[in-house]
Amino acid sequence: MTKKDVAELKSRFKKSSCTFTKISGCYVNGSKEILVRFTDTFLNLEDEEFFKYLEIAKKTLSGTLGNNLLEVPFPASETETSAGQQFLLGLRESKLKNEELTDTFFQQIIEQYQYVGNYLILIFHDAYDVMVKTLDQNKLDESEEVYEYLLCSICPVSLTKPGLGYLEGEQKIGARYRDWVVQVPETGFLFPAFTDRSSDIHSCLFYTRDILEPHNEIVTEILGCKTRPTGALQKQVFENIIKRAVSDEEQSMELFSEIQESFKEIVDEKKEKEELELSSPEEQLLLTKDSILEILAEKEVEQELVEKIEQLYEETFSDQVPQIEHLLDKKVLQENETKKTTKILMEQIHDLEEKVKEYKGQNDSEEYDVVVKVSAEKVQQISTAMVDGKKCIVIPLEEFEQVRINDQTEFEQMQEG
Q: What percent of the chain has pLDDT over 70?
A: 90
Contact 223, 84 (CB under 8 A): yes
Q: Any long-range contacts for 192-195 (C-beta under 8 Å, 24+ apart)?
A: 192/88, 192/92, 192/149, 193/1, 193/71, 194/1, 194/5, 194/6, 194/8, 194/9, 194/147, 194/149, 195/1, 195/5
Per residue in 316-352, pLDDT (tens digit) is 888 788 899 889 988 998 988 888 888 898 888 888 8
* Helix runs in 198-329, H state only: 216-217, 231-245, 249-275, 289-298, 303-317, 324-327
Distance CA 402, CA 414 (A): 12
pLDDT tens readout for residues 361-377 = 666 555 666 777 777 77
Residue 410 has pLDDT above 60, yes or no: no
Length of the chain: 417
Asked whether residue 386 carries a pLDDT value surpassing 50, the answer given is yes
pTM attached to this predicted model: 0.76
Q: Are 26 and 152 in contact (CB under 8 A)?
A: no
As a whole number of angstroms, the distance between CA 152 and CA 168 comes to 39
pLDDT in tens, 225-254: 988 999 999 999 999 999 999 888 888 899
Res. 382 pLDDT band, cuts 50 70 90: confident
Lowest model confidence (mean pLDDT) among 8-12, 50-54, 382-386: 382-386
pLDDT in tens, 99-144: 999 999 999 999 999 999 999 999 999 999 998 776 555 556 566 7
User: What is the model's pLDDT at position 87?
Assistant: 94
Distance CA 6, CA 62 (A): 9
At residue 71, does pLDDT exceed 70?
yes
pLDDT, averaged across the chain? 87
In this prediction, residue 176 has a pLDDT band, given cuts at 50, 70 and 90, of confident
* Mean pLDDT (whole number) for 8-33: 93
